[in-house]
Amino acid sequence: MKKLFILTIISFFIGCNQTSKKSSNLTSGTKKITLESIWDGTFTSESMNTLNSMNGDFYAILNIDEETKETTVDTYSYKTLEKVETIVSSKDLEGLKSFSSYSFNNDETKLILGTDFEKIYRHSYKGTFYAYDIATKKLSLIGNNIQEPVFSPDNQKIAYAKDNNIFIKDIQKNSIIQVTNDGEKNKIINGITDWVYEEEFGFVRAFEWSKNSEYLAFLRFDETDVPTFSMDIVGTELYPKQQVFKYPKAGEKNAIVTLHMYNIPTKNSKHIALGDYEYIPRIKWTNDANILVATTLNRHQNNLKLHKVLALKSSATLLLEETDAAYVDITDNLTFLNDNSFIWTSEKDGFNHMYHYDFGGKLINQITKGNWEVTKYYGFNEAKNTIYYQSVENGSTNRGVYSIGLDGENKKLLSNNDGENTADFSKNLNYFINTFSSAENPPMYSLYSAEGEMIKVIKDNAALKEKIATYKMSTKEFSTISINGNSLNMWMLKPVNFDENKKYPMLMFQYSGPGSQQVANKWNIDKDYWHQMLAQKGMIIVCVDGRGTGFKGAAFKKNTQKELGKYEVEDQIATAKKLAELPYIDKKNIGIWGWSFGGFMSTNCILKGRDIFKTAIAVAPVTSWRFYDSVYTERYMQTPQENASGYDDNSPINYADKLKGNYLLIHGTGDDNVHVQNSYRMINSLIEANKKFDMFLFPDRTHAIREGKNTRLNLYTKMTNFIDENLNNK
């Protein structure tokens, strides 16, 4: 049970709604956190292997024997959590020593096994894939250097992509049909998304089998006119190589995306007209084998349409349309019931909630209501007429797992009331494995019934909790702070030996991107341990989610529309100034740091807030939204042609002359997401303004700056030294 306390900070200064977590130390240990210990596995929590829910009350896990390196796919029972059988083992496979991925067909009689993966972008890869028949134990090659193989529902065929074309392999006849022939790198892509769809719409495979296996719907990307971006890759060879790919920046041409329907029996493909649109971010077959639903968006992404596509006629009619003054989010929450009525999530009442529509697009009822958000949709049990979902109705910094009737009645909390709870449901929705953590409790994995009865604790990370008890760690104090007319979520870390009569330097951390959240009641990741280490050194660490962040309603999230970096920066500056009035904050030693959008923010803050921020670190920052991709940027900013002032008034490259503090700029030169061009342009602006600054480049590293031995250790050592030198009590 969490102890609560009344914060001693005078409300005049903070303006908080003041019930918060206990201010006592998280641990009573004396050991100090070191940079090495953060990345050598000292604080790694035990986790469960990724599981795939199977038919019935079973799930499968890919296991690797550390000694023999034998790879197996094993079945487990949800009811007992015990292993039931080994479905396949690499030691029994002739010609395949190991595999690193697997997927089932619909009736779980066959597997697709993958190996020799080569990464393409953040989520995409190609590899060698095999089909495995569980009954006969027969292994057959599907293809080398292919992408996204998937069985047809009748188990007779496998569709996959290779070299920007789509192929179908007939397993029985051992023959291959080439569905498309015009695929060409940096010109035409069939069945696989382009860079910007993968990154911003969150999917790679852009083809789907119909329920009767007679049709394959797919997207075709014509990126011929999309501008090309190139990066030098230093590597280990004598001459660098270039990575060249199509990347539509804000206001530039996107790929022309079209929907096509391939008829398997006739071997004919037809283009499906969907009217006027810019994007097709989702396609999904209904329970009618001849009807597909395609989602389209306009370029501003504030007009979404669901189209009912009749495969037999290759025609489409409008099923549902949703508009918003700002934008409409894309999710995977569209669920068709047996009668083809469907569940849909929307922010149309101001908060993200679930709705039930008939197949004509008529609203049957709003399922959830209230000034809180549905954050995940888990599924619908038709037999019980019950929906399972995750929400923040127990507080915007928490996550709970709930059930509710399709009619919106009989809502029930199934998990812990506080902290972060996520559920992994069995396919038949009879059980779920709940992952619970909080700022004070490492992840605990427990088996629950669908009625919310905890059956068994699987892993509790008790050993990690005991280990952490030996370290000198501070409690993360949660509260709210009144800034610019809004109540903002905040956490604060103070040194364990905190003395309110002393003055401490303060480092603020934030991300601040639209719909994001950093003030969350969940367990640590690496940067949290780094913050703890800085607190041990005698610093106060603060994080505040300002306007534009998520889980507090659409109006709060969309407040920053067309002005990314204006209100978010104002909130961070105002927070720093308000906290600087506290007697124990050294107002001459306040810093801020962030990564990606957070780096954009920290850069703007030290320029526009130079009277309060002494030091800033920006890792992989956007420095002008003109340089970032079209889908993400225009969702919040429209195009530069329409909103030039929104882009330029909030771009730090236009304010380099305002720098007077200590500024460290860090970037990976192989970042295909936020290109190093952003930092190079910032550097040029600082040079032209004759400003002193520090920079640190990581050759060939991507946006996460993880690749290579000791990369993260080296990065955080640099940042630690910079803070030690520039943010102190001198």
Q: Count the Cβ atoms, other than its own, within 10 Å of residue 117.
A: 13
Q: Is 690 left (phi over 0), alpha (psi -120 to 50) or beta?
A: left
% of the chain with per-residue pLDDT over 90: 92
Return contacts of 707-710, CB within 8 angstroms, 24+ apart: 707/670, 710/39
Q: Is 370 left (phi over 0), alpha (psi -120 to 50) or beta?
A: left
Local confidence band at 465 (pLDDT 50, 70, 90 cut-offs): very high
Region 48-54: mean pLDDT is 88
Q: Which helix (H) or strand (E) covers residue 577, if one does?
A: helix 567-580
SS (H, E, C) 299-350: CCCCEEEEEEEECCCCEEEEEEEEECCCCCCCCCCCEECCCCCEEEEECCCC
What's 508's DSSP letter? Answer: E
Structure token pair of residue 454: 């905890």
Return contacts of 701-709, CB within 8 angstroms, 24+ apart: 701/668, 701/669, 701/670, 701/671, 702/668, 702/670, 702/671, 702/672, 702/673, 703/122, 703/596, 703/620, 703/668, 703/671, 703/672, 703/673, 703/674, 705/619, 705/620, 705/666, 705/668, 707/670
**Whether pLDDT at 576 is above 80:** yes
Smallest Cα–Cα separation from 587: which of 664, 518, 504?
Answer: 504
- φ/ψ of 227, rounded to 5, equals -60, 150
- φ/ψ of 178, rounded to 5, equals -95, 110
Contact 231, 240 (CB under 8 A): no
Local confidence band at 17 (pLDDT 50, 70, 90 cut-offs): very low
Task: State residue 656's pLDDT score.
Answer: 98
CA distances from 182 to 186, 197, 220, 259 (A): 12, 20, 10, 15
Round to whole Å and give the CA distance between 56 and 39. Answer: 40
Structure token pair of residue 277: 């649109």
Structure token pair of residue 688: 């032209």
Region 394-421: mean pLDDT is 96
**Whether pLDDT at 682 is above 90:** yes
Angle of the 597-608 helix axis to the 567-580 helix axis, nearest 10? 60
SS (H, E, C) 226-241: CCEEEEEECCCCCCCE
pLDDT digits (tens, 9 = 90+) for 654-681: 999 999 999 999 999 999 999 999 999 9
Arithmetic mean of pLDDT over the chain: 94
Sheet holding 400-405, edge to edge: 374-381, 386-391, 400-405, 412-413
pLDDT digits (tens, 9 = 90+) for 349-363: 999 999 999 999 999
Cα three-residue angle 486-489-494, rounded to 5 degrees: 130
Q: Which helix (H) or strand (E) covers residue 4, if one does?
A: strand 4-5
Contact 394, 418 (CB under 8 A): yes
pLDDT digits (tens, 9 = 90+) for 196-234: 999 999 999 999 999 999 999 999 999 999 999 999 999
Smallest Cα–Cα separation from 407: which of 371, 369, 373, 378?
Answer: 369
**Whether pLDDT at 25 is above 80:** no
Local confidence band at 620 (pLDDT 50, 70, 90 cut-offs): very high
Smallest Cα–Cα separation from 638: which of 649, 628, 646, 648?
Answer: 646
Region 397-413: mean pLDDT is 98
Region 27-49: mean pLDDT is 90
Statement: the pTM of the whole predicted model exceeds 0.85: yes
Helix boundaries (H) for 9-122 = 11-14, 35-39
Residue 74's Cβ-count burial label (10 Å; 0-12, 13-18, 19+) is: middle
Instruction: Go through the domains of the chain in sequence order and give each one's CATH number.
Output: 4-44+465-726 (3.40.50.1820), 332-460 (2.120.10.30)
Q: How do 694-698 and 662-668 pair as beta strands? A: parallel
Task: State residue 583's pLDDT score.
Answer: 97
Task: State residue 95's pLDDT score.
Answer: 84
% of the chain with per-residue pLDDT over 70: 96
Contact 618, 694 (CB under 8 A): no
Smallest Cα–Cα separation from 255: which of 348, 193, 333, 169?
Answer: 193
Contact 140, 171 (CB under 8 A): yes
Local confidence band at 27 (pLDDT 50, 70, 90 cut-offs): low
- Residue 80 neighbours by CB under 8 Å, 6+ apart: none
Angle of the 526-536 helix axis to the 711-726 helix axis, nearest 10? 30
The residue with tokens 């703890």 is 532
**Whether pLDDT at 637 is above 70:** yes
- Residue 113 neighbours by CB under 8 Å, 6+ apart: 88, 93, 96, 99, 101, 102, 129, 130, 131, 132, 139
Round to whole Å and give the CA distance between 653 and 627. Answer: 12
Radius of gyration of the chain (CA): 27
Say whether 195 sits in a helix, a strand or coil. Answer: helix
Task: State residue 66's pLDDT score.
Answer: 84
Contact 171, 157 (CB under 8 A): yes
**Whether pLDDT at 579 is above 80:** yes
Round to whole Å and give the CA distance between 204 and 183. Answer: 16
Round to whole Å and give the CA distance between 14 and 104. Answer: 55
**Whether pLDDT at 587 is above 70:** yes
Round to whole Å and give the CA distance between 679 and 663. Answer: 12
Smallest Cα–Cα separation from 314: which of 281, 290, 289?
Answer: 290
Local confidence band at 20 (pLDDT 50, 70, 90 cut-offs): very low
**Whether pLDDT at 429 is above 70:** yes
CA distances from 5 to 14, 20, 417 (A): 16, 6, 18
End-to-end CA distance of the chain: give it in Å, rounded. 41
**Whether pLDDT at 730 is above 70:** no
